[in-house]
Amino acid sequence: MASGGMASNLAEKISRDFLSCPICFELYDDPRALPCQHIFCLGCLKTHTGKTKEGGQFNCPICRGETTLPENGADGFPPSTYITSLKDQVLAADEKPLNCDSCLRLGETVDGTHRCLDCKDWLCHHCKKYHSSSKPSATHQVVTIEEFQSGQYVEEIAKRETVFCRLHPEEPVKLFCEPCEEPICHLCTVIKQCHKEHLCESIPYAVEEKRKILLDDLKQLQSTTLQNCKCEIEALKDKEVYINTQQNKVKKDIVLFCNGLIAYIKQQQEKLHAEVDTTFAIEQDKLKAELEEVTLINCCITSTTSFTEKLLKFGSDCEILRFHKQLDDQTKLLNEKSRNQRRKHTKPPMFLFNPNPIIHTELTHATVGYFSALTMRAVLLEKFCTQSPSDVKMPYLTGISLDRDDNILLADCNNQKVKVLQKGSGKLQAEWSGDGVFELNCPWDIACNNNGDIAIANKGNDQVLVLDSKFKVKMALKVEGCTGVTWLNQNCLVCLGQIGIVTVTVSYNGQKMVKYTHDACGQLLFPDPRHIDVLPNTDVVVADWLKGACVLAENSKLKFTYKIGDFGQTWGVCVDRDGYILVANCGNSCVSILHPNGKLLSYLVPADLISEPTGIVAYNNGNIAVAEANGNVKIFKYYEN
């Protein structure tokens, strides 16, 4: 008799985990394969799909892929003869005691010493001699128990396995239909009409090509896709550590800042902690979802790799042909999922705690700082297309503003008109291109004051038009090549003119009060200005295509400039209610937010959410509206009100 150690050799070569159902964790009982090639016991599948109607959808317990339940329920899923065969071999190798099957048929019990790989019979020494000398079985391969249980004949056994036709159960499979991608028997080529006209190859000939495809798929999964997925998991884990470290750091900064303050300030401290936890919870949820997705992809890759390896090593030619198409499709799907996940990977956001000085002497009005979505990524709320039926060209938006009711005002340079979009819905409310006396010619910018008066930078006609809320022209001011306009107060305008001339004008009489062109060294302040706005302290903010975002003081001195990289390509700029500067960078397709002192706080809107922003305006509720050159307007939430 073989020793227990030798009897376990075969089981060691074929992992029992591979032969165990992922649901019940027992050896497969009537294994059935789903289209995704995950295999389960028939009974387990019936339990799992118990509430699913025939023809309905259910999720694979492993990969969560949607699967259609056949008309006859779980019984309609094809049996996995490949798994059944492997299981029988492992169980046969573990059998004890081993009795000679020939002697058993004669009513005798004799220990077996050999195994016929063709008949699958155990033979004693005496019966083995007659089995090998008998003409019907003379060509059969007979091996010793030790050889059989060592596992060295697993591949030989798989090749000798007879697989029968799905449509003609008594006929062995001999051919492979190329167009149908299906192993068939000789009767199929005679009875089934489609196979009569199709190219059918012999199993040994057809399996070589399919084996090569599966080997290539396996190589790609092992050498590239699996490795990339592991790297992505490590990167996400590093990101998780970084976020946790940043979370602790921010909370420590807040605690240190608040330690010296009295009870009221400590209440503010707890409020700030809650904001931090909420913000980081969102990031953690995003990270958890990404990690779960990548881990799931990794699990699918691992299971597909394991199945393909075992199929190529232990499967029959027919089984390889039967599964190669599904495995090839599964490999392509996993490769695509892995590539898509890598494209999603972004650098972690920057987190900041920004302390503010106590701005009032009364304690009840004190502030210790803030931690808000200003330092995070803005969230897209709405998107509007601004093309109207009367447009003769595609819209090209160059300016954006809000009226007293928060309706959106747009300057459409291509169509020589101003458009008004309704608050909330984005529906076109009105259009204005002129009144017969004053006509728009390349309108470049637009601004509205609290009285409802609208100023339009009419670049093509070298003027600024001042209209009332009903679009009746109140005044036309001469400003050569005007590209930007904003209100300093209810009565004064600040305009951008030709070659960067900044002019402060009294709107009701057109008197020019101040003009800025060059700095103290005689250098031109703004070589290519696009838009303009004013800070609460009346400093002027200019968006210049070449220099970036610039803040100009009353003495013609530039306080600071900000641009991305070597090329500014800044188009739009605005100041929000708290004095923060929002910059629309057209060349790099992003929106940044700056502290009033010029320090970059965050890239609010990255390039994957916006395309060529040309104008920007801030609401009082923490939202911004951004105009894109292609005619779209997008609304973002960038901090909680």
Residue 356 CA to residue 337 CA, distance in Å, equals 46
pLDDT of 564 > 80? The answer is: no
pLDDT value of residue 287: 82
Among candidate residues 278, 274, 276, 269, the one with its CA nearest the CA of residue 366: 269
Contacts of 476 (CB under 8 A, 6+ apart): 438, 463, 464, 465, 466
Say if CB 468 and CB 490 are below 8 A apart. no
Give φ, ψ of 542 to 5 degrees. -120, 135
- pLDDT tens across 295-353, in order? 888 888 888 888 888 888 888 888 888 888 888 888 888 888 887 766 555 556 556 66
Residue range 347-365: mean pLDDT, rounded: 49
Q: Report the mean per-residue pLDDT for the chain.
A: 81
Q: Work out the widest C-alpha separation in the chain, in whole angstroms.
A: 124
- Domains of the chain listed by start with CATH number: 4-157 (3.30.40.10), 204-344 (no CATH), 372-637 (2.120.10.30)
> What is the band of 554 on the pLDDT scale with cuts at 50, 70, 90?
low
pLDDT of 460 > 80? The answer is: yes
Residue range 255-277: mean pLDDT, rounded: 76
pLDDT of 257 > 90? The answer is: no
> What is the band of 1 on the pLDDT scale with cuts at 50, 70, 90?
very low
- pLDDT tens across 39-52, in order? 999 999 999 988 88
Give the helix, strand, coil percentages of the chain, each rounded to 5.
35, 25, 40
pLDDT value of residue 512: 67
Task: Please state, in angstroms and as integers, the Cα–Cα distance from residue 319 to each residue in 33, 80, 92, 579, following that order.
Answer: 12, 9, 21, 70
pLDDT value of residue 88: 64
- The structure's pTM equals 0.45
pLDDT value of residue 566: 44
Percentage, residues of the chain above pLDDT 70 = 82
Percentage, residues of the chain above pLDDT 90 = 24
pLDDT value of residue 351: 63
- pLDDT tens across 192-242, in order? 766 777 888 888 888 888 889 889 888 888 888 888 888 899 999 999 999
pLDDT value of residue 640: 61
- pLDDT tens across 52-62, in order? 888 889 999 98
Residue range 129-136: mean pLDDT, rounded: 88
- pLDDT tens across 88-115, in order? 666 665 656 478 989 998 989 898 889 8
- pLDDT tens across 505-526, in order? 665 566 666 676 766 676 777 8
pLDDT value of residue 501: 65
Contacts of 123 (CB under 8 A, 6+ apart): 100, 101, 102, 112, 113, 114, 115, 116, 131, 142
pLDDT value of residue 370: 45
- pLDDT tens across 579-638, in order? 889 999 888 888 988 888 888 888 888 888 999 999 999 998 889 999 999 999 999 998
Residue range 554-561: mean pLDDT, rounded: 70
> What is the band of 3 on the pLDDT scale with cuts at 50, 70, 90?
very low
pLDDT value of residue 357: 42
